[in-house]
Structure 1
Amino acid sequence: MAPRFLRELVPRREKRAATGSVVVAVKSLTLLQWAQFWSGWLAWTCDAIDFFAVSLTVAPLATQFGKTQSQITTALTLTLLFRPVGAIIFGILSDRFGRKWPLIFNLLLCCVFELGTGFVNTFPQFLGVRALFGIAMGGIWGLSSSSALENLPVELRGIASGVLQEGYAVGYLIAAVINLTLVAKHGWRVLFWTGAGISFFAAVIRVLVPESAFFLRAKEQERARGANTSHKTKIFIKETKEMLKQHWLLCIYAVLLMTGFNFLSHGSQDMFPTYLQTTKGFSPHDASVATIISNWSYSGGAIAGSASQYIGRRLTIVIFVLLVGVFIPLWVLPSSFSALSAGAFCIQVGVQGAWGVIPIQLAEMSPPAFRATFPGVAYQLGNMVSSASAQIEATGAANLKTTIIKNGVPTLVADYATVQAIFIGVVAAFVVIVTIIGPENHGSHFENHKAAFEEGGGRDDAVADNVSQTSYRDVDEKGSA
């Protein structure tokens, strides 16, 4: 018999998805539901392109501004530090006014600051723009994940969570391809300008996609009651206070969980191109190719998301994080391009797989009426705590040297391999422990809950008025609607 803690990680039988119900749910999806999901996915992909534009161009940026690589990574730290501000601002706007227009404005701000990054001429200007950019980026995840998941049947939210989260890996891949093809010819600025164009395109797409049905229903009911904007805002503030009073401990737990996850992703990704060039002696071209190979691991998110629908969210996370630990030696010990690329791919399968469960785990864990604010703020506070990942690794590597053969001559270089192996090993152990002790609300029908601006929205048991939705699980088990 499995250990008790392992049995507790698996959801009860009645909450597991049935294959038949998944098929029924997929067939039932409308064009609007598909559009809402993919518009959220595209927004999250833009976030990744914009963020990794800096980590992929650390070396040319250092040359441009006459700074060390460690100093350039200050921009990454500033971006992560300011993201919680954006998560709070745009999360509140989204839970109060809807998903559509706050996300559109959010994407347009990203476009403006990304465009501005490509025009800076001094290092202080660069840091200032990236700090402001962090505020804009902070709102994207909470808004895109809530928009994408709340409009889907509960049976599909596991795999949808994985596909959504892998938008980040796809964004990293797109940024790496742009860096490999355009930056070599036209300089580092073109990467930021291209990212701005893609963000603008995502905003246009979101303009064309209607508001979430969840908010349309809630707004219609409030109009029927005669509630005005001022009254709804007062209710929103009241229900927010009620939610914080009930769930302050859950808020702390979510931040701890997301701190571990963000250390895991940023620690294994942000300095990876720099690690290959500095410690392994790769050319910028080969480092970019290896980065592209590692990010084909985005399938891990979809696989993990699907698995979580059957074996539970927490158990799936634990399995994939353990996979990260297993492949750390292959990630840092070899010196050949093929072996290191294989190691990076395997590491990222584990990282992206574990991350693939996070959108739905946080959504189901969240106070239901605050599905944009709670996950977004928890995610970005975790980002803030982990904001020094790149600087920790850069500083550690600068103080820990190793010798490589460069152009036939033994050369002393920064030892990113040892630093990253220790760093990721410790973080992986932390994530496993925090995941095991945490809650799970597998199969939650949060779409049936009241909105945050409705009376009682801050309570967990506040079901929306006139809810007439039937779950696909009920259809599958009863044989009829």
Structure 2
Amino acid sequence: MKDKTEVEHISPYSSSHDHLADDDHNDLFNEKPDLSWPSIRHYFATRIPNLLDLPLYRQDRKWYQVVNPIPGLKEMTALNWNLYGLGFLAWSLDSMDFFCVSVSASEIAATLNVSVTDITWGVTLVLMLRSVGAVIFGIAADKFGRKWCYITICTLFIAVEIGTGLVQTYKQFLGVRALFGVLMGAMYPIAMVTAIEGQPTVARSVLSGLFLPGYSFGYILAMVFYRAFANTYKPGEGWRSLFWFSAGLSVLLIAWRFVVPESPDFIKLKEKKRRFNERNRVKHKLIDTSVLQTLKTEWLLFIYLVFLYSGWNFTTHGSQDLYVTMLTKQFGVSLNTKTVIVVVSNIGGIIGGITMGSVSELFGRRLTVIICMIWCGAFVYPSFFNANRNWWAYVLLNGGVMGAWGISSVYLLEVVNKANRALISGLAYQLGNLVSSASATIEARLGEKFPLEGHSGGDDLYDYGKVMCIFCGAVFSYMIICVLVGPEKFHNNLHVTDEDEVLEEGSSQDDLKSDRRM
């Protein structure tokens, strides 16, 4: 039998509160924030001790045994693997569908007789409406379940992707992309909780490390299949085949999800929330008082998470949105070379996510993110100056960016409550993404201050490398500060306990507290 005190350990310097899972309220919700001056002073006084209270110090194993993901992965059951595969591939397909517009923007613009800038408004609409989907389907997933929300979103994906391939006017294009924005915002929280919430604790870090870089995997798929479908359907309209093909991939996910049962953790969660609502005298099935309780307990944490995820999203948008433009306009890189750079840098991102996810088992979540930001800072200059020759540095920088992102999912699920984890995690992520959607505009404005020497002030002839270097340096610094002042609940228990687990959980926590007093 496993030593549960090790598996479920939360650092004694953590901002979490020790409690037994002795009733539904304690298991479902965090405690209300204490805003008294002694509590605030204590919190900030423990940010550095918390950061330096490394999980490595509490391990009897060697460091290379701790970061080895194989033992943790061996604990996964067939259901665990199925749920993770469904979550990861849904997020990757979500990303692929998003980038299908980016990689084929010029062809779509030519077909619809508009400018490429007009087509980018379709991307902006997606970013603007993702929060709407996060709210609608976040509430639905926490109330009705992960499975049927997943199937519903994939079904709607099919309709939207087929519709995108059939559009004949610019207004029709904007309409279907607006709907896609709602669905993209809906898919992230459901895919994340499907993939991670029920996994063994020791496998959680490496699985999280791979999950968010599924975004990079989706980018690669979009680039590869864009090239594959370039000469299909009609001349200049191969992009239509690309969207129809992506719709077909959703069919496969629906069929797979049909045969995999609902998350066991959600089934327990649903029963506990039912009892909670009954005790609060709510009999109507459509009223869920747990959302109101969550507003009371999570509001301060939620505000922090929006600031944190704004910074996290700025790291990707700031380092990626103008990168291809920089390679093309400033350094004259060919299409084939750009494709290689994009693919290799995203593979670097996937490797970075997996690696740093596992490393967070040694250093904790917050310190590992800070290490990633320092790593990125070291490669900012070579990545954006002489970028045609130093693209290798950008691969390493992207590995650091996605390395930090690889920790984000497990960090988020460990700090939010269980009752409404899909709603809180999805909305915090999407609001942060909404804030960061202005990064391209910010960089463009900064670019106007750095025209390229030797040019007579033509459009877009700016020193993008200098702009991105300044912007990314500021963002990486912001992330270090934001993570430094934030909470952490390393290895917090994500599983919903049922009645016959309560006694065992309580005993384990008693043992842990006894150890801390020694």
Question: TM above 0.5, one fold?
Answer: yes
* Rounded Cα–Cα distance in structure 2 between residues aligned with 1:109 and 1:421: 40
User: Which residue type is aligned with residue 194 of structure 1?
Assistant: F
The reply on whether 1:331 has 2:378 as its aligned counterpart is no
1:459 corresponds to:
none
2:255 corresponds to:
204
The percent of aligned pairs where both chains have the same amino acid is: 36
Give the 3 Å change call, closer, same or farther, for CA 29–416 of structure 1 in structure 2. Answer: same
Could you state the TM-score of these two structures normalised by the residue count of structure 1? Answer: 0.84
1:149 corresponds to:
196
Q: CA deviation at 1:389?
A: 2.6
* Rounded Cα–Cα distance in structure 2 between residues aligned with 1:225 and 1:5: 34
Residue-by-residue CA offset, 1:437-481 (whole Å, 9 max, x unaligned): 1000111112135xxxxxxxxxxxxxx43337979xx8xx99xxx
* Rounded Cα–Cα distance in structure 1 between residues aligned with 2:105 and 2:499: 53
2:493 corresponds to:
445
* Rounded Cα–Cα distance in structure 1 between residues aligned with 2:91 and 2:252: 13
Residue-by-residue CA offset, 1:393-452 (whole Å, 9 max, x unaligned): 4455467532689xxxx9983433222222222211111111111000111112135xxx
- Residue pair 1:70, 1:394 contacting (<8 A) in 2 also: no
The correspondence of residues 223-234 of structure 1 with structure 2, limited to 5 A, is 231=283, 233=285
Pick one of 373, 376, 389 that aligns with 1:321. 373
The reply on whether 1:351 has 2:401 as its aligned counterpart is yes
Pick one of 45, 54, 57 that aligns with 2:92. 45
Q: Which moved more, 1:174-183 or 1:286-295?
A: 174-183
User: Which residue type is aligned with residue 45 of structure 1?
Assistant: S
Pick one of 140, 149, 152 that aligns with 1:93. 140
Q: Which moved more, 1:392-401 or 1:351-360?
A: 392-401
- Tell me the secondary structure at the aligned position of residue 425 of structure 1: helix
The reply on whether 1:415 has 2:467 as its aligned counterpart is no
* Rounded Cα–Cα distance in structure 2 between residues aligned with 1:417 and 1:340: 12
* Rounded Cα–Cα distance in structure 1 between residues aligned with 2:70 and 2:48: 29
Pick one of 366, 372, 375 that aligns with 2:416. 366
Q: CA deviation at 1:270?
A: 3.2
The reply on whether 1:103 has 2:145 as its aligned counterpart is no
1:217 corresponds to:
268
* Rounded Cα–Cα distance in structure 1 between residues aligned with 2:417 and 2:383: 39
2:481 corresponds to:
433
The reply on whether 1:249 has 2:283 as its aligned counterpart is no
Pick one of 34, 50, 58 that aligns with 1:8. 50
User: Which residue type is aligned with residue 300 of structure 1?
Assistant: G
The runs of 5 or more residues in structure 2 that have no matched partner are 1-44, 513-518
- Residue pair 1:279, 1:416 contacting (<8 A) in 2 also: yes
- Tell me the secondary structure at the aligned position of residue 183 of structure 1: coil
- Residue pair 2:269, 2:496 contacting (<8 A) in 1 also: no
User: Which residue type is aligned with residue 475 of structure 2?
Assistant: V
User: Which residue type is aligned with residue 422 of structure 1?
Assistant: I
2:159 corresponds to:
112
Q: CA deviation at 1:152?
A: 0.8
Give the 3 Å change call, closer, same or farther, for CA 224–83 of structure 1 in structure 2. Answer: closer
Pick one of 344, 357, 361 that aligns with 1:305. 357
* Rounded Cα–Cα distance in structure 1 between residues aligned with 2:47 and 2:437: 32
Give the 3 Å change call, closer, same or farther, for CA 137–465 of structure 1 in structure 2. Answer: same
Give the 3 Å change call, closer, same or farther, for CA 163–403 of structure 1 in structure 2. Answer: same
User: Which residue type is aligned with residue 50 of structure 2?
Assistant: E
The reply on whether 1:375 has 2:425 as its aligned counterpart is yes
Residue-by-residue CA offset, 1:355-403 (whole Å, 9 max, x unaligned): 0000000000112222211110100011111122334444554675326
* Rounded Cα–Cα distance in structure 1 between residues aligned with 2:254 and 2:192: 15
* Rounded Cα–Cα distance in structure 2 between residues aligned with 1:414 and 1:231: 62
Residue-by-residue CA offset, 1:242-292 (whole Å, 9 max, x unaligned): 111122111100001111111111222233333322222223332222111
1:133 corresponds to:
180
Q: CA deviation at 1:135?
A: 0.2
* Rounded Cα–Cα distance in structure 1 between residues aligned with 2:122 and 2:284: 39
User: Which residue type is aligned with residue 424 of structure 1?
Assistant: C
Give the 3 Å change call, closer, same or farther, for CA 74–111 of structure 1 in structure 2. Answer: same
User: Which residue type is aligned with residue 372 of structure 1?
Assistant: A
- Tell me the secondary structure at the aligned position of residue 368 of structure 1: coil
* Rounded Cα–Cα distance in structure 1 between residues aligned with 2:93 and 2:246: 7
User: Which residue type is aligned with residue 418 of structure 1?
Assistant: K
The runs of 5 or more residues in structure 1 that have no matched partner are 450-463
1:453 corresponds to:
none
User: Which residue type is aligned with residue 385 of structure 2?
Assistant: L
Give the 3 Å change call, closer, same or farther, for CA 17–94 of structure 1 in structure 2. Answer: farther
* Rounded Cα–Cα distance in structure 2 between residues aligned with 1:184 and 1:261: 37
Q: CA deviation at 1:231?
A: 3.1
1:389 corresponds to:
439
2:105 corresponds to:
58
Give the 3 Å change call, closer, same or farther, for CA 260–412 of structure 1 in structure 2. Answer: closer
User: Which residue type is aligned with residue 445 of structure 1?
Assistant: N
User: Which residue type is aligned with residue 467 of structure 1?
Assistant: E
* Rounded Cα–Cα distance in structure 2 between residues aligned with 1:141 and 1:233: 26
- Residue pair 2:268, 2:496 contacting (<8 A) in 1 also: no
- Tell me the secondary structure at the aligned position of residue 443 of structure 1: coil
Give the 3 Å change call, closer, same or farther, for CA 329–153 of structure 1 in structure 2. Answer: same
Q: CA deviation at 1:59?
A: 3.1
Give the 3 Å change call, closer, same or farther, for CA 335–45 of structure 1 in structure 2. Answer: closer
User: Which residue type is aligned with residue 335 of structure 2?
Assistant: P
* Rounded Cα–Cα distance in structure 1 between residues aligned with 2:113 and 2:461: 20
- Residue pair 2:69, 2:358 contacting (<8 A) in 1 also: no
Q: Which moved more, 1:365-374 or 1:23-32?
A: 23-32
2:499 corresponds to:
465
- Tell me the secondary structure at the aligned position of residue 466 of structure 1: helix
Q: CA deviation at 1:325?
A: 1.6
Q: CA deviation at 1:354?
A: 0.3
* Rounded Cα–Cα distance in structure 1 between residues aligned with 2:297 and 2:316: 31
Q: CA deviation at 1:177?
A: 1.2
- Residue pair 1:76, 1:387 contacting (<8 A) in 2 also: no
